Amino acid sequence: MRTHERPADGVGRPGSPATRRRRCAPRWGASAFAALALLTGEARGQILHGVVLYASDDAPVALAAVRLLDGDGVVVAAELTRPDGRFQIFVPTDGAFSVHVEHPAAFATVDGPLALSTLHNTFVTFHVQARPIELEGLEVTAERRSVRLEAVGYYERARDGLGFFVGPERLQARPPVRSSDVFRGVPGVQLLGSGTAGVPSFPLMSFALRGRFWTEGPGGGTPPCFPRVYVDGQVVEIGGSGNVPAQSFDQLVPAQDVAAVEVYRSPAEMPAQFGGLTQCGVILVWTTAHRR
């Protein structure tokens, strides 16, 4: 006697929905596992890892465009580097590829061919050369300074602006024929010639500060107030009221030796180291070479 158990509620009858479900389920599960295994193998084996650095200091290059090119030069994948300069690109298939790295601040770099396989991942390091920073044209004007005048404090006093200064630029633009020509047009200085009251009648060129002259002719008035004169920091004329200079200024310093002149008309303007007790002003003369 054949024993046959009837499936309850028609379960197991040929063509029933339950039977169809049992027969299809094994085939669907096998396909899913096969596809999952294939995807896992591709993701695991075909990843190009790398880092982009500046060649000068190994600093990371962020936001560099990394492109993967096949043998025909076609871009098959692309990625941007992270702030640490690193990137990873999923390679679509095995083969030989070139890698192109580009950044606005660096020269483009191409490397390859690289043989990429599904059996292992690959790590590459790219060093790129930074582009020089191009600046717009700038016109720079620099003042040529004399080392000697800098050393004696001429430029510092000129910045303070308490006196009147005749510098190398003016002397080069209008070279004096005689040393006394330096003072022509200088505020507060008047040149005196021979025959002037209080000045010997032999050839002599001296100077006195305006506002301290006598106002009358010979035989009356106040004697001139001559300024103290320094040449290279040394007193050559003591100056003062009635102290007539012993020699012409043209004899003191040759015209071609004058490098700069400072004129101070009152004690309030005078530098402390050159003022002293004089009340008639101070003139400082600096020469192109130190005079002993």
- 117 in Cβ contact with 45 (< 8 Å): yes
CATH level 3 topology of 147-287: Ferric Hydroxamate Uptake Protein; Chain A, domain 1 (2.170.130)
- What pLDDT, on the 0 to 100 scale, is given for residue 242? 66
User: What's the number of CA atoms in the CB half-sphere (13 Å) around residue 71?
Assistant: 6
Contact of 207 with 183, CB cutoff 8 Å = yes
Residue 117 confidence (pLDDT): 79
Whether residue 87 has pLDDT greater than 90: yes
- Residue bearing tokens 């096998």: 30
Average pLDDT over residues 173-197: 76
pLDDT of residue 88: 94
3-state secondary structure of 64: coil
Per-domain boundaries in the chain: 45-128, 147-287
Number of C-alpha atoms within 13 angstroms, CB side, residue 190? Answer: 13
**Size of the chain in residues:** 292
Spatial neighbors of 276 by CB under 8 A, at least 6 apart, are: 228
Residue 114 is predicted with a pLDDT of 87
State the residue for tokens 């720079």: 140
What is the arithmetic mean of pLDDT over 40-60?
A: 79
Residue 127: what pLDDT?
A: 94
User: How far apart are the C-alpha atoms of 217 and 47, rounded to whole Å?
Assistant: 107
Residues 6+ apart with CB under 8 A from 34: none
Q: Per residue in 256-286, pLDDT tens? A: 999 999 988 888 888 888 877 777 788 899 9
Is the preceding peptide bond at 113 cis, omega within 30 degrees of 0?
A: yes
| Averaged pLDDT for residues 240-249 | 71
Q: Which pLDDT does position 285 carry in this prediction?
A: 92
pTM of the model: 0.48
| DSSP code of residue 60 | B
Q: Is the pLDDT score of 19 beyond 50?
A: no
Q: Return the higher-pLDDT residue of 172 and 247.
A: 172
Reference 211, options 197, 200, 199, 222; nearest CA is 222
Give the per-residue pLDDT at 106: 93
The arithmetic mean of pLDDT across residues 222-227, rounded, is 71
Reply yes or no on whether the pLDDT at 25 is more than 50: no
E strands within 46-153?
A: 47-54, 65-69, 75-80, 86-90, 95-103, 106-116, 122-128
- Percentage, residues of the chain above pLDDT 90: 30
Check pLDDT > 90 for residue 4: no
| Matching residue, tokens 């300069």 | 85
Domain 45-128 architecture? Sandwich (2.60)
pLDDT digits (tens, 9 = 90+) for 137-174: 777 776 677 888 999 999 999 998 888 999 998 898 98
Q: Token pair of 114, please? A: 């690289």
Average pLDDT over residues 192-213: 51
What pLDDT, on the 0 to 100 scale, is given for residue 210?
Answer: 54
Between CA 60 and CA 78 the distance in angstroms is 18
Rg (the chain; Cα; Å): 48
Cα distance between residue 166 and residue 189, in whole Å: 13
Residue 125 near residue 51 (C-beta atoms within 8 A): yes
Q: Give the model's confidence band at 26: pLDDT under 50 very low, under 70 low, under 90 confident, else very high.
A: very low
- Percentage of the chain beyond pLDDT 70 is 69
Note the pLDDT of residue 42.
43
Q: What is the mean pLDDT of the chain?
A: 75
Q: Are 125 and 53 in contact, with CB atoms under 8 Å apart?
A: yes
pLDDT surpassing 90 at residue 22: no
| Lowest-pLDDT choice from 61-70, 188-197, 237-246, 276-285 | 188-197
Phi–psi pair at 171, nearest 5 degrees: -65, -35
75-to-65, 78, 100, 194, 240 alpha-carbon distances in Å: 12, 7, 9, 96, 92
pLDDT at 216: 35
Q: What is the pLDDT of residue 221?
A: 54
> Tell me, what's the pLDDT at 184?
81
Tell me how far apart the alpha carbons of residues 81 and 98 are, in angstroms, rounded to a whole number: 17
What does the pLDDT average to over 178-204? Answer: 65
C-alpha count within 13 angstroms, C-beta hemisphere, residue 210: 10
